[in-house]
Structure 1
Amino acid sequence: MSVRIGDIAPNFEIATTQGNIDFHAWAKGSWVFFFSHPADYTPVCTTEMGRTAQLAAEFERRQVKCLGLSTESVEQHLGWINDINETQNTQVQFPIVADSELKVAKLYDMIHPNASETATVRTVFIIDPNLKVRLMMTYPMSVGRNFTEILRVIDALQTGDQYGVACPADWQVGGDVIIPPSVSSEAAEEKFPQGFKTVKPYLRYTNVSK
């Protein structure tokens, strides 16, 4: 099964380090950062899990729940969490899915056979409060994720939803945003009383942070 942007995230019921969850029931009403890692007790994965835990306050501020996944058992995850907490100087508080039968990995197309038949690649799904997939990123097993980018894109999606705008390349919170071409100039004047700058008829900038 392929999961694509705009799809409702497929539901599943499964064991995690914090008990069994029904994903839709657990996630509904919150944003979700759902990410897979290749294996427990491996170096890059340890740093990623640790970084997710270190950023707990940043995710919470954005109303984002974190959910990790790999194909080991709950018991193995729990043992590994001790190593993560020790080596990364943090406390893992989010659940990690125990997908030993590859049920969720296959549902979300996290197994890439040319990389591994059993280990998941480093997949990221950002899912909105209506359970819709809003972003997908896939990293190779040898490269850890960029968490600054993960937080940036959550900020961009939330800003776009709130104000009906798009975000340009390298956008950061507080920077100018783009008024979609579908919004007429008359509607833009009403919607953005702070004003906007027209570079081209299809390229208009405004700033919603002012």
Structure 2
Amino acid sequence: MFEEVTETIAIPRLGDKAPSFEAVTTKGKLMLEDYRGKWLILFSHPSSFSPVCATELVGFQEIYPLLKDYGVEILGLSVDSLSAHLAWLRGIEESFNTSIEYPIIADKDQSVATKYGMIMPGESHTETSRAVFILDQEHVIRSIMYYPISTGRNMKELVRLVQALQTAQMHDVYTPANWEPGDKVLVAPPKTQDDMGGSSEEGVEQIDWYVGKKIL
């Protein structure tokens, strides 16, 4: 009696270097290296001509100008063909009065989706899930999120998350729950017993021995 062998594919984790790729997109061939020096939101959606996906593509386009102000680019992906993508984008422009300016990968052979773990067999063996990978300017993965096929993503939260990630990286701080730009940030907690008396940094509001807040 033979046991079924299931192939295990390593998927990237937070703090990993993002897997490199070269892909055909709606803006021509692109490589991950083309985004060196910029932050990147790489997102996947299940398929072209899907109602939830259409609203998401429009939503990403709406936040695209703001994200570019933060040095962030957007790159979409699904396993549809390039011709399907192009026809769909024309339909979105006509029906939603929105021109999609960022590229979308036509990952028909699932090569990029497989590298990033975007296929969820429990949900679909053929469609990509609603995954979001946020990469920093060195292509280190800073955030990974998955949404089910039935549920569209929150664009305001993606912008807030980018702002929080960049603030934490730039100032070596943490951001509390529900943080918005302009709110107080959290300083690093003490690492030794001697540091438990509170931060010596000027302007830090010490809530408890391990919780200190400040305005940037």
Whether the TM-score (by the shorter chain) exceeds 0.5 is yes
Provide the aligned C-alpha RMSD in A.
1.6
SS at structure 1 position matched to 2:159:
helix
TM-score normalized by structure 1? 0.93
User: 1:135 is matched with which residue: 118, 139, 143?
Assistant: 143
Write the distance in 2 (CA, Å) between the matches of 1:85 and 1:202.
Answer: 51
1:31-110 aligned within 5 A: 31-110=39-118
Kept in 2, the 8 Å contact 1:47–1:84? The answer is: no
Return the letter of the residue paired with 1:103: S
- The reply to whether residue 180 of structure 1 matches residue 199 of structure 2 is no
Q: 1:33-67 CA deviation, whole Å, 9 max, x = no partner?
A: 10000000010000000111122211111110000
**Matched-pair contact (CA < 8 Å) for 1:50–1:85:** no
- Corresponding position: 1:17 with 2:42: no
Please say if residues 38 and 137 of structure 2, whose CA atoms lie closer than 8 Å, have aligned partners that are also in contact.
Answer: yes
Aligned length: 204
Specify the SS of the correspondent of 2:99. Answer: coil
**1:88 to partner: Cα distance:** 2.6
Match of 2:127 among 119, 122, 130: 119
Identity of paired residues, percent? Answer: 37
1:165 aligned to 163, 173, 176, which one?
A: 173
**Structure 2: gaps of 5 or more residues:** 1-9
- Separation in 2 of the partners of 1:29 and 1:182? 32
Which residue of structure 1 aligns with residue 3 of structure 2? none
Distance 1:189 1:86, change over 3 A: farther
Moved over 4 A (4+): 182-190
2:142 and 2:56 mapped to 1: Cα distance? 21
Which residue in 2 is equivalent to 1:4?
A: 13
Normalising by structure 2, we get a TM-score of 0.90
Distance in 2, matches of 1:201 and 1:186, equals 6
In 2, Cα distance between the equivalents of 1:151 and 1:70? 22
CA contact (8 A) 1:31 1:126 kept: yes
